[in-house]
Chains A and B, each alone.
Chain A
Amino acid sequence: MSEGDIETRVRKIVVEHLGVEEEKVTENASFIDDLGADSLDTVELVMAFEEEFGIEIPDDAAETIQTFGDAVKFIKEAV
């Protein structure tokens, strides 16, 4: 799986779940501060990442995933 591919797939999930425009999902975009997510939305996002990439993201690791960039970085290392 290429790194660009992972980024595209993560972005697609974020756009679908948070109902935001693709351009807003930038490297440093915070799910809660910039993309309108609440704490429950972030739980659901992490579940969607697990599902999409067939990985397990432990709760303590999930808490460190605050931005789009955090998510891509974690997933790249996990797959």
Chain B
Amino acid sequence: MRRVVVTGLGMVSPLACGVEPTWRRLLDGQSGAGTISRFDASHLATDYACEVPRGDGSDDTFDADAWMEPKEQRKVDDFILYGVAAADQAIADAGIGDASDEEKLDIGVMIGSGIGGLQSIAETAVMIKERGPRRVSPFFIPGALINLVSGQVSIKHGFKGPNHAVVTACSTGAHAIGDAARLIQLGDADVMVAGGTESPISEIGIAGFNACKALSTKHKDDPERASRPWDADRDGFVMGEGAGVVVLEDYDRAKARGAKIYAEVIGYGLSGDAHHITAPPPDHEGAERAMRAAVKRAGIDPSQIDYINAHGTSTMADTIEMGAVQRLLGDAAKNATMSSTKSSTGHLLGAAGAIEAIFSILAMRDQVAPPTLNLESPPEDAVIDLAPLKKVERKIDCVLSNSFGFGGTNAALIMRKVDA
């Protein structure tokens, strides 16, 4: 099968618009959390989240007008806006925008979302109730459908290869990158623009996850301290929003055109828990099987993994994941570093696996593991280094990124430096 490498990165995150400014702030230990500014959330059990900083583009804020004309913005939900912006960045970074018409037949798009246009659906439902069905916009459906991110990107750039969208809750981003890599391996496409996007910070989104008892509720006065993976005082995840997109490319094609190669996707594993709609099994054997499948596909020994970007949402499941990772690594666990960047960005749901794959790639590029913020009381049975509070400079040649989703769906990605 063909080798698949990453040649472009793009991101809209709660820390910044753009990959490099986000990465700088992540390493600097900054948090994207704050009191929700977009709507009055004071009546909800959780009134804080990690919102994308909107602005005029200065100080790395997200200027929507820079990515989509105002008249087009009205027609789409924010998850599409974020996805298109992240894809544009990745496409420009990879330098594939000027591909020939013939080449574009083999360039595909696979950008997923966990929930899609939740806010649009909620607003439209209220409007039908108040003003009747004739007021529904013709752009409501195409502005809320999950696969319309892939559709919009394909239309904008003329990419005529596979057009697909993954929907696996919080493992969407990782599944999208893994599945897209497979399409290249099997020859269905030469290049895939892949990732995830999400915009769940709305009254219905927060209320819904509050009802599942999934969100942190105890930090109204200090939101930046709310996302604390593995910490003894963790009380749920902090909602995030944004998008992560990568350009995946056939290795020979990338080499031939002299592309900048960030990393090679060498392993991808998937599994199902068959256990519960929202909770992992007590030993998370499903996650362990996904990781072992990725290791097997990569043809490496687990001890070769230097850095793990954990799913680590700041819920009870964190230590269950840690146990599964430590079983996978065995004695080598003491030599590896695992961190949860959700401590800084919050949980971007369907975009999480994509931005975290990007962070894992940058960890290899810069030989530094980003920190786990707010980890003041680590679990006693932690053998692995959890990068508490501060980044860890170290050798990183091979990385594992985990993502798990409601419904008991698991994805694990393994990447390494090319020719390392």
Q: Which residues of A contact B (CB under 8 A)?
A: 16-19, 40-41, 43-44, 47, 50-51
B residues in contact with A47, CB < 8 Å: 134-135, 137-138
The answer to whether A19 touches B70, judged by C-beta atoms less than 8 angstroms apart, is yes
CA distance A23 to B406 in the complex (A): 53
The answer to whether B138 touches A43, judged by C-beta atoms less than 8 angstroms apart, is yes
Task: Specify the chain A residue showing the minimal Cβ separation from B71.
Answer: A19
CA distance A16 to B134 in the complex (A): 21
Q: Give A52 Cβ to nearest chain B Cβ, in Å.
A: 13
Which 6 A-B pairs have CB atoms at the shortest separation, nearest pair first? Answer: A19-B71, A43-B138, A40-B138, A44-B138, A44-B137, A40-B139
The answer to whether A44 touches B139, judged by C-beta atoms less than 8 angstroms apart, is yes
B residues in contact with A40, CB < 8 Å: 138-139, 142
Q: Which residues of B contact A (CB under 8 A)?
A: 69-71, 134-135, 137-139, 142
A residues in contact with B142, CB < 8 Å: 40
Task: Specify the chain B residue showing the minimal Cβ separation from A15.
Answer: B71
A residues in contact with B138, CB < 8 Å: 40-41, 43-44, 47
Q: Give A60 Cβ to nearest chain B Cβ, in Å.
A: 15
Q: Give A53 Cβ to nearest chain B Cβ, in Å.
A: 15
Q: Give B145 Cβ to nearest chain A Cβ, in Å.
A: 14
Task: Specify the chain A residue showing the minimal Cβ separation from B74.
Answer: A17
**Main secondary structure on A side of the interface with B:** helix
Task: Specify the chain A residue showing the minimal Cβ separation from B142.
Answer: A40
CA distance A43 to B136 in the complex (A): 10
CA distance A18 to B70 in the complex (A): 10
A residues in contact with B71, CB < 8 Å: 16-19
CA distance A44 to B75 in the complex (A): 10
The answer to whether A19 touches B135, judged by C-beta atoms less than 8 angstroms apart, is no
Q: Give A57 Cβ to nearest chain B Cβ, in Å.
A: 10
Q: Give A66 Cβ to nearest chain B Cβ, in Å.
A: 17
Q: Give A50 Cβ to nearest chain B Cβ, in Å.
A: 8
B residues in contact with A44, CB < 8 Å: 137-139
A-B contact pairs, 9 of them (CB 8 A): A16-B71, A17-B71, A19-B71, A40-B142, A41-B138, A44-B138, A44-B139, A47-B134, A51-B135
CA distance A38 to B155 in the complex (A): 15
Task: Specify the chain A residue showing the minimal Cβ separation from B141.
Answer: A40
Known: A43-B138, A44-B137; 12 extra A-B contacts, CB below 8 A, are A17-B71, A18-B71, A19-B71, A40-B138, A40-B139, A40-B142, A44-B138, A44-B139, A47-B135, A47-B137, A47-B138, A51-B135
CA distance A43 to B139 in the complex (A): 9
A residues in contact with B139, CB < 8 Å: 40, 44
CA distance A18 to B71 in the complex (A): 7
A residues in contact with B69, CB < 8 Å: 19
